[in-house]
């Protein structure tokens, strides 16, 4: 039987930070208000595209795996914020990597996109149709923040994470995955006008997140809880058999409530939402990379993961970690940093959403 072991991993967190104190200069909020409700202290904002971020995360994952891009059969990009609908952004990543023989496609199930992508690529390896794949989660959600919405503009950040998976006969990688979608909950989290219908032919597109917090919280806990129960049963495991839990990083309260619901010790849960905020499809691979850097993942561990996103899509998986916890090599590829402050970076966005932040720009200080 084929398995799909994770053999490489990489991330890109843009260096430009928007702290909670920075946020309080734009909207009526505070560090205490934001942190107490979400667990967020800061978020990274990108000056480059979703594709550029995904490319660098993938380069670093390839280096960690010690394999050449030309040996990759498939590139999947999980994202809600592709730079174009047609052609797909995965093909940009594939071409920039030099993965000449690889197929490439985007997958959008909102925040669950990376986990859905890992499931799809793993099943393709198990079926024998491919042997090596890169699964990327990359998001530039800062472009869609409505600065007039105090309740939601602080929630999201930008970034990218990627893994390389390879065929193996050893039991490793995503052993069981569950993809689901909570019925009749689609409208509680969505971005109207973020797409082709209606087709916008003018420059006055106004994207504003519809965010119903209580309904999202309830549906997320229910959906992830049910998906977790399904994958544990499929593998004949209980929560006592799980060594580490890497959930979607949307809200600290959701993570804590979910851990309590499944009776899992919080000290064995990976939480990095304070550093990154909600990076949507990039959240789990970013958290996984940080857990590896911190030595939290050890050879042979049984790892639980779970996610939810707009739709409301849900999913969970049981990952058996292989023997590799240190990268074979490190990529020397880089993205040049943004020159200026976060207020310079977001100037056009502030203006678009009617926020007067001119006094914060470096050129006026």
Nearest partner of 246 among 165, 326, 317, judged by Cα:
317
Alpha-carbon span 25 to 343, nearest angstrom: 10
Kindly report the number of other CB atoms within 10 A of residue 133's CB atom: 26
How is residue 364 annotated by DSSP?
A: G
Measured torsion, CA atoms of residues 79, 274, 63, 131, in degrees rounded to the nearest 10: -50
Looking at the predicted structure, is the pLDDT value of residue 193 above 80? no
Mean pLDDT value across residues 319-340: 97
Contacts of 63 (CB under 8 A, 6+ apart): 8, 10, 327, 328, 329, 330, 331
Query: Domain segments of the chain: what residues?
Result: 3-320
Nearest partner of 64 among 171, 139, 169, 162, judged by Cα:
162
- Give the model's pLDDT for residue 84: 82
- C-alpha 213 chain-centroid distance: 20
Q: Whose structure tokens read 């849960």?
A: 269
| Structure token pair of residue 33 | 């208000």
- Give the model's pLDDT for residue 185: 58
Helix orientation angle between 213-235 and 252-261, rounded to the nearest 10 degrees: 40
The domain made up of 3-320 is a member of CATH 3.30.70.2750: no
How close are the terminal C-alpha atoms of the chain, in Å?
Answer: 63
Looking at the predicted structure, is the pLDDT value of residue 202 above 60? no
3-state secondary structure 21-74: HHHCCCCCCCHHHHHHHHCCCEEEECCCCHHHHHHHHHHHHHHHHCCCHHHCCE
State pTM to two decimals. 0.93
Give the pLDDT band (50/70/90) at residue 146: confident
3-state secondary structure 67-127: CCHHHCCEEEEECCCCCCCCCCHHHHHHHHHCCCCCEEEEECECECHHHHHHHHHHHHHHH
Mean pLDDT value across the chain? 91
SS3 call for 253: helix
**pLDDT tens-digit map of 124-136:** 999 999 999 999 9
- Give the model's pLDDT for residue 196: 54
Looking at the predicted structure, is the pLDDT value of residue 304 above 70? yes
Looking at the predicted structure, is the pLDDT value of residue 82 above 50? yes
Nearest partner of 156 among 46, 252, 314, 280, judged by Cα:
280
Per the document, the length of the chain is 365
CB 92 within 8 A of CB 356: no
- Give the model's pLDDT for residue 215: 73
Alpha-carbon span 61 to 163, nearest angstrom: 6
Looking at the predicted structure, is the pLDDT value of residue 184 above 80? no
Looking at the predicted structure, is the pLDDT value of residue 257 above 70? yes
Residues marked as catalytic: 111, 248, 278
SS3 call for 181: strand
Q: Whose structure tokens read 């193996």?
A: 168
């Amino acid at each position: 039987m084929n398995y799909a072991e994770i053999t490489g991993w990489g991330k890109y967190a843009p260096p430009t930070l928007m702290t909670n104190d920075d946020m309080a200069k734009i909207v009526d909020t505070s560090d205490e208000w934001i942190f107490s409700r979400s667990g967020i202290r800061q978020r990274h904002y990108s000056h480059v595209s979703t594709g550029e971020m995904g490319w660098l995360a993938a380069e670093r994952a390839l280096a960690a795996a010690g394999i050449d891009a030309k040996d990759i059969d498939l590139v999947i990009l999980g994202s809600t914020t592709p730079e174009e609908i047609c052609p797909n952004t995965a093909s940009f990543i594939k071409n920039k990597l030099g993965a000449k023989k690889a197929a490439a496609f985007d997958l959008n199930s909102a925040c669950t996109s990376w986990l859905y992508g890992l499931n799809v690529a793993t099943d393709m390896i198990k079926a024998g149709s491919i042997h090596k794949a890169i699964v990327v989660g990359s998001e530039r959600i800062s472009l869609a923040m409505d600065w007039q919405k105090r309740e939601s503009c602080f929630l999201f950040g930008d970034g990218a994470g990627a893994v390389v998976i390879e065929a193996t006969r050893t039991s490793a990688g995503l052993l069981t995955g569950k993809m689901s979608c909570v019925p009749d909950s689609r409208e509680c989290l969505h971005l109207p006008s973020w797409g082709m219908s209606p087709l916008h032919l003018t420059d006055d597109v106004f994207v504003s997140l519809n965010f119903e917090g209580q309904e999202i919280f309830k549906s997320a806990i229910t959906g992830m809880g049910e998906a977790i129960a399904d994958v544990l049963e499929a593998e004949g495991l209980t929560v006592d058999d799980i060594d580490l839990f890497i959930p979607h990083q949307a809200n600290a309260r959701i993570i804590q409530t979910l851990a309590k619901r499944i009776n899992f010790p919080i000290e064995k849960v990976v939480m990095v939402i304070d550093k990154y905020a909600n990076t949507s499809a990039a959240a789990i691979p970013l958290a996984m990379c940080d857990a590896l850097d911190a030595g939290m993942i050890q050879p042979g561990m049984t790892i639980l993961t779970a996610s939810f996103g707009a739709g409301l899509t849900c999913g969970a998986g049981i990952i058996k970690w292989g023997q590799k916890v240190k990268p074979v090599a490190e990529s020397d590829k880089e993205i040049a940093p943004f020159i200026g402050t976060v207020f310079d970076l977001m100037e056009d966005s502030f203006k678009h959403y009617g926020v007067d932040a001119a006094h914060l720009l470096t050129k006026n200080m």
